[in-house]
Amino acid sequence: MMRKIGLFILSLWLFFILTIIITIQIPVYFAEDYVFIGWYEFLSTNIIPIFCLLGIIGGFASFFDFKYVLKDATNMPFSINKIENINYEHLTFLTTYIVPLVCFNFVEIRYQIVLMIVIIVICAIYVKTDLFYANPTLALLGFKIYKIDGNFEDGIREGIILISKDNLIKNQRCDYLKLDDRIYYAKIK
């Protein structure tokens, strides 16, 4: 469950970066009589960018967990009987969730509260429906999504979603790590 939430946070990297660009308030004054406004004033006017920065850091932690902790842990290899590239799902997530969220009004507190509620609801849906694999950040980092039928040691499994950095093809043998009942991280053996 925590890995799924981490991957959701990772999927929002682009949203966090765009939100920081839209909302950050950096006082710029070049005259000789400048005075620093103070840390309290600076931090209190940049609450949303600070939360977004924390989200980016959380996304980094999730990415390193996904990439390195899972790297060596694999189950018995399987072979691919049927394969379909479903990378378009990255774009679906991006256009459905990220773009509309960036258009929120970030100034009024009421809209900020609504934004937080919407993000929490999207996270709950994302985790409960196992859509964590449709992650546009993973696509930018070179991961691909495949839907396969495979021959595993305990028989044939159909409709398995694979996340992989490798280009996978039919009849290829892969190592895997089960992320969920039907979603696996795979690499070429």
Closest CA to 12 of 76, 80, 93: 93
In this prediction, residue 149 carries a pLDDT of 93
Across all residues in the chain, what is the average pLDDT? 83
| Total of domains in the chain | 1
Residues with Cβ < 8 Å from 45, sequence gap 6 or more? 25
Q: What is this structure's pTM?
A: 0.75
pLDDT of residue 52: 92
Instruction: Give the residue among 95, 189, 90 at the shortest CA–CA distance from 145.
Output: 90
- Cα–Cα–Cα angle for 183, 188, 189, rounded to 5 degrees: 115
Residue 189 tokens read as: 């053996």
Place of tokens 């053996």: 189
Of 133, 137, 136, 138, which is closest to residue 148 (Cα–Cα)? 133
Residues of the chain above pLDDT 90, percent: 15
Average pLDDT for residues 158-176, to the nearest whole number? 89
Range of the domain at 83: 2-188
- The four Cα atoms 115, 103, 66, 77 give a dihedral, to 10 degrees, of 110
